[in-house]
């Protein structure tokens, strides 16, 4: 898996802070730019602490994500307030085997051998269909959820906060959890105030919505 932040809104924290100040000021939007960076940072910290996160929708981030499975992207696109551009299996011939292996399979030599053998057979049949003149858009039907894909994703900061809350949780599926943590690492470098407390609800709200008492991060305050 490879995750790169390839674009983001200029002044990613200043603009949301200006928006927050605007809601409680008679100052015209054009004049808000004169506010000191120190004051804007304090305003942003305050609204984030209060949970008034609508203002961070003004900031967007774009990620280039490669070598993840179709299983992951099926989960990813459920986050609807986002923009996606994914590698097409209809127009791209995936002649060479390229797939994701789950860690629990990779750690078991016998299972790993069986898994790789299955993938080899799948790709042989896929290429057989292509060589018979079957178009890629039809041959792709035999490809597995494990098949690697590449995708470009754009989300605003508020959607990302929600994404991190759901997908950084230890009960999220391993692959999308890994993706979420890598994305969070990237945006923290650019917008540390917005994403200071980003993560699963056990961290952000000190609660476990799923009430998973066996989780090592289960909030102590909830145990009582």
Give, in order, the Cα–Cα distances in Å from 63 to each of 7, 73, 115, 165, 177. Answer: 7, 13, 30, 18, 16
Q: What pLDDT is attached to residue 221?
A: 64
Shortest CA distance to 71 belongs to which of 176, 183, 184, 177?
176
Q: What pLDDT is attached to residue 212?
A: 76
Q: What pLDDT is attached to residue 160?
A: 98
DSSP state of 168: S
**All domains of the chain in start order, with CATH:** 2-84+148-223 (3.30.1360.170), 95-142 (no CATH)
- CB atoms inside a 10 Å sphere around CB 220: 8
pLDDT at 24 over 90: no
Cβ 146 vs Cβ 100: under 8 Å: yes
Q: Which residues contact 12 (CB under 8 A, 6 or more apart)?
A: 59, 61, 157, 190, 191, 194
Give, in order, the Cα–Cα distances in Å from 14 to each of 35, 46, 140. Answer: 10, 13, 46
Q: Which residues contact 133 (CB under 8 A, 6 or more apart)?
A: none
Q: CA–CA separation, 101 vs 162, rounded Å? A: 27
Cβ 146 vs Cβ 69: under 8 Å: yes
Q: What pLDDT is attached to residue 222?
A: 59
Question: Is 140 one of the catalytic residues?
Answer: no
- Mind listing the pLDDT tens digit for each residue in 159-216? 999 999 999 999 999 999 999 999 999 999 999 999 999 999 888 888 878 777 777 7
Q: Is 84 helix (H, G, I), strand (E, B) or coil?
A: strand
- In the predicted model, what is the mean pLDDT of residues 79-103? 95
Active-site annotation holder among 4, 167, 177, 213 = 167
- In the predicted model, what is the mean pLDDT of residues 84-112? 96
Cβ 69 vs Cβ 175: under 8 Å: yes
Cβ 87 vs Cβ 136: under 8 Å: no
Q: CA–CA separation, 98 vs 146, rounded Å? A: 8
Q: What pLDDT is attached to residue 105?
A: 98
Q: What pLDDT is attached to residue 208?
A: 79
Cβ 171 vs Cβ 212: under 8 Å: yes
pLDDT at 154 over 60: yes
With a pLDDT cut of 90, the percent of the chain lying above it is 81
Q: What pLDDT is attached to residue 131?
A: 96
Q: CA–CA separation, 157 vs 201, rounded Å? A: 17
């Amino acid at each position: 898996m490879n995750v790169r932040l390839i674009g983001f809104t200029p002044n990613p924290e200043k603009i949301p802070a200006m928006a927050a100040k605007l809601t409680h000021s008679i100052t015209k939007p054009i004049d808000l730019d004169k506010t000191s960076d120190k004051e804007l940072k304090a305003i942003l910290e305050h609204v984030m602490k209060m949970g008034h996160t609508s203002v961070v929708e003004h900031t967007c981030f774009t990620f280039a994500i490669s070598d993840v499975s179709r299983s992951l992207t099926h989960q990813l696109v459920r986050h609807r307030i986002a923009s996606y551009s994914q590698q097409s299996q209809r127009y791209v011939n995936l002649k060479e085997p390229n797939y994701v292996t789950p860690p629990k399979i990779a750690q078991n030599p016998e299972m790993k051998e069986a898994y790789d053998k299955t993938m080899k057979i799948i790709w042989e049949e896929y290429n057989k269909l292509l060589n018979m003149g079957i178009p890629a858009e039809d041959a792709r039907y035999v490809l597995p959820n494990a098949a690697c894909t590449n995708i470009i994703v754009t989300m605003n900061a508020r959607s990302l906060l929600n994404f991190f809350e759901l997908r950084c949780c230890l009960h999220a599926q391993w692959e999308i959890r890994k993706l979420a943590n890598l994305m969070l690492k990237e945006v923290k470098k650019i917008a540390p105030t917005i994403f200071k407390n980003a993560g699963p609800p056990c961290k952000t709200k000190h609660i476990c919505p799923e009430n998973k008492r066996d989780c090592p991060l289960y909030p102590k305050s909830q145990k009582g």
